[in-house]
Amino acid sequence: MRRESLAFLLIAFIILTLSLLYRRSLILGAISALLTFLMIQSTRPQLVLMLIPSIFLVILLNLKFEFKQNTKFFFILIFTHASFAWTVITSLNVEYAGYIQEISRVENSTRVPNVSWEFNSSFIGYIYNIYRSLTGPLIWEWNSKSMIIFGVEGIYYLLVTIITIMMLIKKKTQRIQIFILILCSLPLLLVTSFILGNYGLNSRVRAHYLIPLLPILSLFLIDLKNKIISLKQNIQGVHATKE
- In this structure, is residue 157 part of a structural domain? yes
Cβ–Cβ < 8 Å for 32, 16: yes
Cβ neighbors of 35 (< 8 A, separation 6 or more) are 13
pLDDT at 187: 83
The one-character DSSP state at 64 is T
The 8-class DSSP code of residue 138 comes to P
Quick one: pLDDT at residue 35?
92
**pLDDT, position 163:** 92
Q: What is the mean pLDDT of residues 63-71?
A: 56
Is residue 170 in some structural domain? Answer: yes
H/E stretch holding 172 reads: none
In a domain, 68, yes or no: no
Mean per-residue pLDDT for 147-166? 91
pLDDT per position as a tens digit, 5-46? 888 888 889 989 988 888 888 889 889 999 999 998 888 887
Is residue 27 situated within a structural domain?
no
Confidence band for 128, pLDDT divided at 50, 70 and 90: very high
Q: Flag whether 79 is in a domain.
A: yes
Average pLDDT over residues 195-199: 86
Work out the number of other CB atoms within 10 angstroms of the CB of residue 182: 21
Question: Which one has a higher pLDDT value, 233 or 165?
Answer: 165
pLDDT beyond 80 at 168: yes
The CB-side HSE value for 7 (13 A sphere, CA atoms) comes to 21
On the question of pLDDT at 130 being above 80, the answer is yes
Range of the domain at 80: 73-242
Confidence category of residue 240, pLDDT binned at 50, 70, 90: low
Q: 57 in a domain, yes or no?
A: no
**Residues near 172 by beta carbon (within 8 Å), at least 6 away in sequence:** none
Return the pLDDT at 167: 92
Using CA atoms, how far apart are residues 58 and 146, in angstroms rounded to an integer?
A: 39
Number of domains in the chain: 1
Query: Rounded CA gap, 219 and 101, in Å?
Result: 40
Q: What is the pLDDT of residue 122?
A: 85
Asked if residue 55 belongs to a domain, the reply is no
- Distances from the Cα of 161 to the Cα of 32, 46, 157, 228, angstroms: 28, 22, 6, 23
User: Is 225 inside any structural domain?
Assistant: yes
Secondary structure of residue 69 in the 3-state scheme: coil
Q: What is the mean pLDDT of the chain?
A: 81
pTM for the structure as a whole:
0.73
- Does the pLDDT of residue 96 top 70, yes or no? no
